[in-house]
């Protein structure tokens, strides 16, 4: 059969003379390029892949299409760090040159086996614009950093009976003496599922079956992407990125969403009994997260701060998206909470602290930093409606508002000259029990804000594309409040 081709299915080896250099130059001039978030040098980034602390360093791979801000031939780009804040770019780890990955090296995860890092990924195969299949593949990274594709690839050829060609995103782990692989899948009736393979040696895999997951997902859910499974303090957690959910009050407002479920996995009986589940992040731009074990056995997570099928303002500049910051996950009161990794404190340079009391109105707390962290504690027992505006100027601002009467926190991004993604709504919200005080910790980095409320109880990941002068932080309220705050200027990661 002749191979299905389209110009977007070409690898970086097929770049034209000076093509990559001129892309690099164009992107380097962007006003919106983050200073310390992992982002592509040019082209499009999506899911974090293969995350690991391995051989004394953090390795982050990500889905990468080098030639522009659209989804084409996916490669695995690679960055490395010893401290989680200074990242070094390494040569592209996976370039899809083989027949078993003819239309891209899709997402996957890693696992250390015998002192080597096994990188599992999906070889995407397209027969036409609509028809596809998938192979599961392996690449092995040695301690010296060399990445080689396994010579017996693919390790799983094609998809099991009963499923369409949408089977992808291997997540592997060991339980007892066996290795297991979770994969996102689509049943033949076009509904989403998670399937499991098992292996004794992490190389030869056999199909075990579909995981029975008692999440009451609607029939409209047509695909489950990027499954993840891990434990924190003995509590088992499953994270998945479903497509086709229906929006409900505060939930699933984005085109695609992410949920986590607490429960119990019975791998022999192929069940995950769910005790509770909810949406993981309440912002506009968050998808396909992946977790891994950090240096001190903590559970870390990176997500893709972006959304498929949405046009972003930087598309014009031939680059799109970034990853979130690394977050440390924990379980508190039977909920998954997310905090910025403690290593991020190393980014702080100049810091300014103050206390401000305000009675009805607004006041500017700071301006002038393009990349900063805000830590604010707001004592607000009298106020019904109050909050903080980021990327603030006379005419722009991202508004984080607390509303006591409805016990909600919301984020509004309608006030920007460069607006985008209007079709999917301009406000996101979450339920929050608002007591006498609330805590806000926000990381702002040119075109991204990650906002952690009450130590990670609610998190909003959001892109915004402000004018250069919109660097203010503003406080507003309808009644009296006192805000104690610190603003840290954050260092730029020069090598990214
Ligand atoms: C999620 C996803 C994955 C897939 C990858 C392709 O964003 O669609 O399911 O492996 O992106 O880039």
Q: The whole model's pTM is what?
A: 0.98
Distance between CA atoms of 252 and 305, rounded to whole angstroms? 16
Distance between CA atoms of 337 and 458, rounded to whole angstroms? 8
Phi-psi region of 431 (alpha: psi -120 to 50; beta: other; left: phi over 0): beta
Cα 483 to ligand 1 centre (Å): 42
Residue 216 placed within a domain = yes
Give the ligand 1 atom nearest the CA of 226: 9
Q: Which H, E and C letters describe 419-454, residue by residue?
A: CCCHHHCCEEEEECCCCCEEEEEEEEECCEEEEEEC
Substitution candidate for ligand 1 out of 45, 62, 77, 107 with most atoms within 8 A of CB:
107
Residues 213 and 303 in one domain: yes
**Model pLDDT for residues 423-454, shown as the tens digit of each residue:** 999 999 999 999 999 999 999 999 999 999 99
Which H helix or E strand runs over 242? strand 235-243
In this predicted structure, the answer to whether residue 387 has a pLDDT above a threshold of 70 is yes
Structural domain count, the chain: 2
User: Which residue segment(s) compose the domain that 462 sits in?
Assistant: 344-490
Cα 384 to ligand 1 centre (Å): 42
In this predicted structure, the answer to whether residue 461 has a pLDDT above a threshold of 70 is yes
Cα 47 to ligand 1 centre (Å): 7
Residues 377 and 334 in one domain: no
Cα 169 to ligand 1 centre (Å): 7
Residues 327 and 368 in one domain: no
Residues 304 and 353 in one domain: no
Cα 389 to ligand 1 centre (Å): 33
Q: What is the model's pLDDT at position 494?
A: 75
Residue whose token pair is 């396994």: 150
**Model pLDDT for residues 202-236, shown as the tens digit of each residue:** 999 999 999 999 898 999 999 999 999 999 999 99
The CATH number that applies at residue 195 is 2.115.10.20
Residues 125 and 174 in one domain: yes
Atom 8, ligand 1: residue with shortest CA distance: 225
Give the ligand 1 atom nearest the CA of 107: 10
Residue positions annotated with a catalytic role: 47
Q: What is the model's pLDDT at position 141?
A: 98
Q: What is the model's pLDDT at position 1?
A: 64
Give the ligand 1 atom nearest the CA of 47: 7
Q: Closest Cα to residue 378, out of 366, 386, 368, 390?
A: 386
Residues 388 and 281 in one domain: no
Atom 9, ligand 1: residue with shortest CA distance: 225
Substitution candidate for ligand 1 out of 101, 125, 193, 288 with most atoms within 8 A of CB:
288
Residues 417 and 453 in one domain: yes
How sure is the predictor about 495, in pLDDT bands with cuts at 50, 70 and 90?
confident
**Model pLDDT for residues 10-58, shown as the tens digit of each residue:** 999 999 999 999 999 999 999 999 999 999 999 999 999 999 999 999 9
């Amino acid at each position: 059969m002749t191979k299905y081709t389209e110009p977007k299915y070409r690898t970086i080896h097929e770049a034209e003379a000076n093509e990559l250099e001129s892309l690099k130059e164009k992107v380097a001039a962007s006003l919106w390029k983050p200073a310390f978030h992992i982002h592509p040098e040019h082209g499009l980034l999506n899911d974090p892949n293969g995350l690991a602390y391995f051989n004394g360093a953090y390795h982050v791979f990500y889905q990468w299409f080098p030639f522009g801000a659209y989804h084409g031939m996916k490669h695995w780009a690679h960055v490395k760090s010893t401290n989680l804040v200074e990242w070094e770019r390494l040569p592209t780890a996976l370039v899809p040159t083989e027949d078993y990955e003819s239309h891209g090296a899709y997402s996957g995860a890693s696992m250390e086996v015998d002192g080597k890092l096994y990188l599992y990924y999906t070889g995407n195969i397209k027969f036409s614009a609509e028809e596809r299949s998938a192979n599961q593949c392996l690449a092995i990274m040695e301690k010296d950093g060399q990445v080689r594709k396994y010579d017996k690839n693919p390790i799983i050829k094609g998809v099991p009976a009963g499923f369409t060609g949408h089977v992808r995103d291997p997540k592997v782990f060991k339980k007892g003496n066996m290795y297991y692989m979770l994969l996102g899948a689509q049943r033949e009736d076009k509904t989403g599922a998670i399937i499991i393979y098992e292996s004794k040696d992490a190389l030869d895999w056999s199909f075990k079956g579909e995981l029975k997951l008692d999440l009451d997902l609607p029939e409209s859910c047509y695909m489950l992407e990027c499954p993840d499974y891990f434990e924190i303090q003995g509590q088992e957690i499953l994270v998945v990125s479903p497509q086709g959910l229906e929006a409900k009050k505060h939930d699933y407002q984005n085109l695609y969403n992410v949920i986590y479920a607490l429960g119990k996995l019975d791998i022999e009986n192929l069940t995950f009994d769910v005790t509770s589940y909810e949406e993981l992040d309440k912002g506009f731009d968050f998808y396909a997260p992946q977790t891994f074990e950090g240096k001190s056995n903590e559970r870390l997570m990176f997500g893709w701060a972006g959304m498929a099928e949405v046009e972003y303002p930087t598309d014009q500049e031939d680059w799109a998206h970034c990853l979130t910051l690394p977050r440390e996950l924990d379980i508190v009161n039977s909920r998954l909470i997310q905090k910025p990794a403690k290593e991020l404190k190393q980014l702080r340079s100049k810091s300014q602290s103050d206390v401000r009391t305000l009675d009805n109105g607004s006041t500017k707390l700071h301006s002038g930093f393009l990349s900063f962290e805000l830590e604010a504690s707001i004592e607000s027992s009298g106020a019904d409606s109050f909050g903080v505006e980021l990327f603030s100027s006379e005419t722009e601002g991202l508004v984080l508002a607390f509303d006591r009467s409805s016990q909600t926190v919301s984020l509004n991004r309608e006030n920007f000259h460069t607006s985008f993604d209007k079709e999917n709504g301009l406000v996101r919200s979450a339920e929050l029990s608002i007591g006498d005080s609330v805590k806000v910790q926000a990381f702002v980095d040119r075109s991204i804000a990650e906002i952690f409320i009450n130590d990670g109880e609610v998190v909003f990941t959001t892109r915004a594309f402000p004018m250069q002068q919109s660097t203010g932080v503003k406080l507003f309220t309808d009644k009296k409040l006192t805000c104690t705050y610190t603003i840290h200027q954050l260092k730029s990661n020069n090598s990214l």
